[in-house]
Amino acid sequence: MSDRRPSDRDPSPGAPGGHRPGRLRLRRGGPRYRPLSPLRDHLRESFWFAPLLTCAGAVLLAGLTAWADEAVVAATIAESGSASELMRFDTAAKSVVSSVSSAMLTFIGVVFSISLVALQMAASQFSPRVLRLYVRSRLTKATFSVCLATFLYALLVQLSYDDETDPLQVTSVPVFSGLMATLLVVLSLALFVLYVQSMMRLLRVPHVIDRVATESVAVIGHYRLVPPDGEPPAEAADALTLLHDGRSGALRDINIRRLVRLARRHDLVFHMVPRIGDFITPGTPIVRVSGGSPPRPWRIASALNVGVERTMHQDLAFGFRQLVDIAIRALSPAVNDPTTAVQAVDRIHQLLGMLVRESFGDLQFRDRHGVVRLVLPVPDWECVVDLAFTEIRICGAGQPQVTRRLTAALDDLLRITPVGRRAQLQSQRSLLERAVEEHVVDPANRAFALAPDRQGIG
């Protein structure tokens, strides 16, 4: 990882000497920080954009192959005086294209039905928060789009058929059209096989949990939470609070570059009030402004990406939220699957182990002159630990498999956590013991339920 000179174009905050407060981790050879584009994010969640592009490509491809068929027939007639050699392919090619057009629509229905079933099962068994894994699947969109394009292509090709049977007067024989229709069918079948395999993986809980954990690891690696060189700039006594002037929704992303440039231009310091993932509405306090004349509220709102649901882009807590949701859904009386909860605790244990030695503090972003222009709040260690364990402890207190795994996770984290951070883990350990005492009366069973076991009960 290489250090770069901070600037308002690249607001990776840095301070001369010592640690870089809230420094944005830059991967070696990786791209610069890019804010989450609302348009790009909308297109990733939509099912109309990819089919629209492939259908437009199918229209162009149908015209191109029809022109190629006519050119081949014209060249054959000019060379031999007759297209009789090509006529032998006419009936077979037309039969192939006709079969494709009639069967592909049913094939599309099968693909779409599998998607709906997968979404329904994921929402009921895992958590509605993990549906984005299915909605954003590129393979699902590619399969649906190619199948739809194949169907449209086959229909358009049939419009260019020449019903003339005289080899001297025929103008088109679907040689290239039939070959292209066959290739599209083969591509559709290959994508369908991959799609079914992908859906089978995503319908299995361990793979969903692994996907969520992998994304969470990427978010943790993207930001290095280090302590500031001293306290963040204090808010002025006359600091002005600006209210949100935009749509309601979850704060998904902040355009850091834009806010740093705006603060430098007005010689201000912005202290963001909400954290990434908070729900904001018009009139919600959004930023505390210290310094000169504040900008218009819409300038601040233009740097905020507000949407219907949270994303993993800058949200350090959203990965824990999804894993906890999966665990407590598995522990509900309707599902009653403590093994799934244990698998979620495995990943929570992994993520907390990555954070035990990271220093927490508000992210500070500086301009090119090293002046702090933006202070962004993030969840502290206590918030993360409470999010990771509280709900699972309450819901799983009567499940020995879960309590044994929680005990093992807490004991392991206590061994590797610095002394100054053990209080929150010890509090969770004590609360777990009290919860087990309330649910398990027999002392022997209580001792068994609190025995640390990395597999729960194996």
Amino acid at 156: L
Q: What does each C-alpha distance from 49 to 55, 81, 370, 458 come to in angstroms?
A: 10, 47, 43, 47
Mean pLDDT of 213-221: 86
11 vs 412, more confident: 412
pLDDT of residue 29: 32
- 143 found inside a domain: yes
pLDDT given at position 83: 57
* Residues 299 and 341 grouped into a single domain: no
pLDDT of residue 362: 79
- For residue 70 the two structure tokens come to 């006519």
| Most confident residue range from 4-8, 124-128, 251-255 | 251-255
Q: How high is the pLDDT of residue 283?
A: 86
Q: What does the pLDDT read at residue 130?
A: 77
With bands split at pLDDT 50, 70 and 90, how would you rate the model's confidence at 377? confident
Q: Which two tokens stand for residue 218?
A: 């990427």
125 and 196 belong to one structural domain: yes
Higher pLDDT, 127 or 97: 97
Between 127 and 152, the higher pLDDT residue: 152
Tell me the one-letter amino acid at 396: G
Higher per-residue confidence, 331 vs 105: 331
Clarify whether residues 280 and 325 are in a common domain.
no
**Dist CA 176 CA 64 (whole Å):** 9
| Whether residue 191 sits in one domain with residue 165 | yes
388 or 162, which is more confident = 388
| CATH number where 277 lies | 3.90.1170.30
- pLDDT at position 144 is 87
Specify the pLDDT at position 18: 37
Of 257, 282, 307, which marks where a domain is finished? 307
Q: So what's the pLDDT on residue 28?
A: 30
Residue 347 belongs to some domain of the structure: yes
Measure the CA angle with vertex 148, ends 58 and 67; round to 5°: 20
Residues 418, 359: contact at Cβ < 8 Å? Answer: no
Judge whether residue 414 has pLDDT over 60. yes
Categorize the per-residue pLDDT at 41 as very low, low, confident or very high, splitting at 50, 70 and 90.
low
Same-domain pairing of 322 and 303: no
Question: Where residue 348 falls among pLDDT bands split at 50, 70, 90?
Answer: very high
| Owning domain of residue 387 | 318-449
In a domain, 434, yes or no: yes
Neighbours of 332 (CB within 10 A): 10
Domain co-membership, 106 together with 158: yes
Say what the pLDDT of residue 57 is: 94
278 or 131, which is more confident: 278
Quick check: is 212 in a domain? Answer: no
**Under a CB-based contact definition with an 8 Å cutoff, are residues 226 and 361 in contact?**
yes
When pLDDT is cut at 50, 70 and 90, the band that residue 25 belongs to is very low
Q: Is the pLDDT of residue 218 over 90?
A: no
CA distance 180 to 97: 9
Same domain, 113 and 196: yes
Q: What is the Cα–Cα distance from 380 to 334, expressed in whole angstroms?
A: 34
> Of 307, 332, 351, which one is at a domain's C-terminal end?
307
Nearest to 117 by CA among 125, 106, 145: 125
Boundary residue ending a domain (265, 281, 307) = 307
Q: Region 388-399: what's the mean pLDDT?
A: 94
Within this chain, do residues 190 and 48 fall inside the same structural domain, yes or no?
A: yes
The residues, any chain, with a CB within 8 Å of residue 291's CB and separated by 6 or more, are 236, 263, 266, 267, 268, 269
Are residues 292 and 353 both part of a single domain? Answer: no
The pLDDT of residue 323: 94
Same domain membership, residue 279 and residue 201: no
Q: Same domain for 255 and 277? A: yes
Residues 402 and 263 in one domain: no
Average pLDDT value for residue range 137-163: 86
SS3 letters for the chain?
CCCCCCCCCCCCCCCCCCCCCCCECCCCCCCCCCCCCHHHHHHHHCCCHHHHHHHHHHHHHHHHHHHHHHHHHHHHHHHHCCCHHHHHHHHHHHHHHHHHHHHHHHHHHHHHHHHHHHHHHHHHHCCHHHHHHHHCCHHHHHHHHHHHHHHHHHHHHHHCCCCCCCCCCCCCCCHHHHHHHHHHHHHHHHHHHHHHHHHHHHCCHHHHHHHHHHHHHHHHHHECCCCCCCCCCCCCCCCEEEECCCCCEEEEEECHHHHHHHHHHHCEEEEECCCCCCEECCCCEEEEEEECCCCCHHHHHCCEEEECCCCCCCCCCHHHHHHHHHHHHHCCCCCCCHHHHHHHHHHHHHHHHHHCCCCCCCEEEECCCCCEEEEECCCCHHHHHHHHHHHHHHHCCCCHHHHHHHHHHHHHHHHHCCHHHHHHHHHHHHHHHHHHHHHCCCHHHHHHHCCCCCCCCC
Burial class (CB in 10 A: 0-12, 13-18, 19+), 131: middle
Tokens for 323, please give them.
Answer: 């894993």
Residue-level pLDDT at 402:
95
In a domain? residue 351:
yes
Q: Is residue 234 part of a domain?
A: no
Is the pTM of the predicted complex or chain greater than 0.85? no
- How many domains, the chain? 3
Q: Is the residue at 200 inside a domain?
A: yes
What percent of the chain stands above pLDDT 70?
81
pLDDT value of position 383: 92
Q: 25: closest CA among 261, 171, 221, 202?
A: 221
In this structure, of 162-176, 308-322, 383-397, the range with the lowest mean pLDDT score is: 162-176
pLDDT in tens, 86-123: 666 777 778 888 888 888 888 888 777 877 777 777 77
* Model confidence at 394: pLDDT above 90: yes
Sign of CA dihedral 358, 359, 361, 364: negative
The Cα–Cα gap between 227 and 364 comes to: 10
Inside any domain, residue 22: no
